[in-house]
Amino acid sequence: MISRKNFLKISALGGLFPFQDWASSSHSFSGKIKKPIVISTWRHGVKANNAAWKVLNEGGSALDAVETGVRVTEADSEVRTVGYGGRPDRDGFVTLDACIMDEQQECGSVGAIQHIMHPISVARKVKENSPHVMLVGQGAVDFALDQGFKKKDLLTEKSRKEWEQWKKNANYEPKVNIENHDTIGMLALDSEGNLSGACTTSGMAWKMHGRIGDSPLIGSGLYVDNEVGAASGTGVGEEIIRVCGSHLVVENMRRGDSPEQACKNAVERIVANKDTLENTQVGFIAISKQGQVGGYSIQQGFNYAVHDDTDNQLIDSKYLV
Ligand code: SD4
């Protein structure tokens, strides 16, 4: 008899339709597991992948790889949408969201944390050194300090000037804009065949103070199921939260979708209830247990970086409209 666990595994491998729609992807399923491999969102993913790859290539865990990888982006003041140098909320505070999830579905998360350079590492500490999954606001800061993290002013001159400019015309109105975000989500499969993921962001620029997006929410900005695959989202967090986007992508893979098809189906679910797509961008990336990767977005312009044993490539995502 097939156990439930094995049934889920078989489904994840394509079930009764093993090669369904997979041949169109450049990372299509050849029957051999492709590992290690790492995928991350946007152009800044290329640099982050290099750091993650170093860990993977030396036999390190997917968990260490994704944490190491996204820390590069968090520390890069030129990336204005993640960590240090990220754009502030409408009151001028840089508030950061991050989460991390491993192959055991152990996870940790911080929301709206301030003054801490590496929220992803605080999220990992929440996972490992607290009985909780998520800490937010001042509680997250207090925990970070208790764990030995140092306070830092994250608002750079560039971001402060831009915020001052924004205030002149914006009437204190937070606006969804397809340009004002770019989270890093990273997913890795290590040489042991284990999956982990990380997601970290300064969120939507000029958001309301206290706003938390999809990025720190397990199931929305990130989801990992070591039997099936992993996914991460980027774009308008409110839209991703409504459909539990990353969980949806993984469940699509469980019932046989390729990573790209799984992302496409989740994008279609988001779009189904919307009258207009103006200013709405959402992109997903996904990786299967076999090391196939893919992505899909609502609008043109989303890209993702994939590092395997041959290359670190920036790929333009397919898109819906
Ligand atoms: C958020 N999803 O806070 C994040 C922002 C972002 O690519 O991704 N951007 O809603």
Contacts 24+ apart (CB under 8 A), 270-274: 270/239, 270/240, 270/242, 270/243, 270/245, 270/298, 271/298, 271/320, 271/321, 274/239
Q: Superfamily for 4-9+28-319?
A: (Glycosyl)asparaginase (3.60.20.30)
The answer, yes or no, to whether any atom of ligand 1 lies below 6 A from the CB of 203, is yes
Mean of pLDDT values over 99-103: 98
Cα(240) to ligand 1 centroid in Å equals: 9
Q: Choose between 28 and 152: higher pLDDT.
A: 152
Question: Using CA atoms, how far apart are residues 58 and 61, in angstroms rounded to an integer?
Answer: 9
Question: Using CA atoms, how far apart are residues 51 and 71, in angstroms rounded to an integer?
Answer: 9
Ligand 1 pocket test target in 82, 178, 183 with most atoms within 8 Å of CB: 183
Question: Using CA atoms, how far apart are residues 37 and 53, in angstroms rounded to an integer?
Answer: 8
Atom of ligand 1 nearest to the CA of 42: 7
The H-assigned helical ranges of 92-202 are: 119-129, 137-146, 157-170
What tens digit of pLDDT does each residue of 187-234 get? 999 999 999 999 999 999 999 999 999 999 999 999 999 999 999 999
Which active-site residues does the annotation give? Answer: 183
Dihedral angle sign, alpha carbons of residues 216, 219, 222, 226: positive
Give the pLDDT band of residue 22 (cuts 50, 70, 90): very low
Atom of ligand 1 nearest to the CA of 281: 7
Question: Using CA atoms, how far apart are residues 3 and 32, in angstroms rounded to an integer?
Answer: 24
The helix, strand and coil proportions of the chain, stated in percent and rounded to the nearest 5, come to 30, 20, 45
Domain boundaries, the chain: 4-9+28-319
What tens digit of pLDDT does each residue of 223-233 get? 999 999 999 99
Q: What is the model's pLDDT at position 19? A: 34
What tens digit of pLDDT does each residue of 140-186 get? 999 999 999 999 999 999 999 999 999 998 888 877 666 656 899 99
Q: What percent of the chain has pLDDT over 70?
A: 89
Lowest mean pLDDT among 11-25, 88-102, 170-184, 303-317: 11-25
Ligand 1 pocket test target in 70, 215, 217 with most atoms within 8 Å of CB: 215
Cα(216) to ligand 1 centroid in Å equals: 10
Cβ burial of 317 (10 Å; 0-12, 13-18, 19+) is: buried
**HEC readout, 214-243:** CCCCECCCEEEECCCEEEEEEECHHHHHHC
* Count of Cβ atoms closer than 10 Å to residue 150 Cβ: 9
> What are the residues facing 312 on neighbouring strands?
307
Lowest mean pLDDT among 15-19, 35-39, 239-243: 15-19
The protein residue with its alpha carbon nearest to ligand 1, atom 3, reads 203
Q: Which of 1-15, 168-182, 298-312 has the highest mean predicted lDDT (pLDDT)?
A: 298-312
Token pair 């339709």 is found at: 17
Ligand 1 pocket test target in 110, 181, 209 with most atoms within 8 Å of CB: 181
Question: Using CA atoms, how far apart are residues 203 and 87, in angstroms rounded to an integer?
Answer: 8
Question: Using CA atoms, how far apart are residues 79 and 48, in angstroms rounded to an integer?
Answer: 12
* CB contact at 8 A, 188 and 66: yes
Atom of ligand 1 nearest to the CA of 97: 3
Cα(66) to ligand 1 centroid in Å equals: 18
